């Protein structure tokens, strides 16, 4: 749990994760559940959000990373466009029904729409085709250096 008073990139990750989690609840039905988790590395001032879609014994997941430049307060969001499947307690080869695959594809597309709504159109792409989004760290998350001096 990220504290409510967190500033900087950590605060942005917290609020973005909360919004994404609420949005993904639209995909929950019956046996299907979603979750959003985060990670943060204070040394590199970077982190990420991972979304997951649980179906009986399997879990599909995807995510994106966020990194802030200490000099410019620019945040770069790297939207990964792949989805992994974990087989949980079933040691057989992971398989999925077509309905599950369609649902995961819908979620992945919705996460991309979410990134565009939150951070604008992607500014470029990595060599592997993953979109990059750039934005300034919103004022409400900035920890003013002048206040600490």
What is the Cα–Cα distance from 41 to 44, expressed in whole angstroms? 6
pTM to 2 decimal places:
0.84
Per domain, the residue ranges of the chain are 8-148
What is the Cα–Cα distance from 94 to 31, expressed in whole angstroms? 17
Inform me whether the pLDDT recorded for 96 exceeds 90. Answer: no
pLDDT at residue 100, as a whole number: 84
CA–CA distance from 114 to each of 25, 46, 66, 101 (Å)?
Answer: 14, 20, 14, 20
pLDDT at residue 72, as a whole number: 79
pLDDT at residue 93, as a whole number: 63
Taking only the tens place, the pLDDT of each residue in 33-84 is 899 999 999 888 899 999 999 887 788 999 999 999 877 778 999 988 788 8
């Amino acid at each position: 749990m990220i504290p409510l008073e967190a500033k900087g990139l950590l605060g942005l990750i917290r609020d973005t994760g909360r919004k994404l989690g609420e949005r993904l609840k639209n995909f929950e039905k019956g046996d299907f559940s979603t979750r959003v988790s985060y990670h943060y590395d204070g040394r590199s001032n970077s982190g990420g959000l991972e979304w997951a879609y649980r179906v009986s014994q399997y879990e599909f997941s995807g995510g994106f990373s966020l990194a802030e430049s200490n000099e410019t307060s620019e945040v770069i969001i790297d939207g990964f466009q792949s989805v992994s499947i974990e087989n949980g307690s079933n040691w057989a080869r992971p398989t999925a029904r077509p309905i599950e695959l369609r649902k995961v594809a819908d979620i992945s597309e919705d996460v991309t729409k979410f990134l565009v709504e939150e951070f604008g159109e992607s500014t470029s792409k990595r060599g592997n085709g993953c979109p990059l989004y750039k934005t300034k760290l919103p004022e409400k998350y900035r920890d003013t250096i002048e206040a600490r001096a």
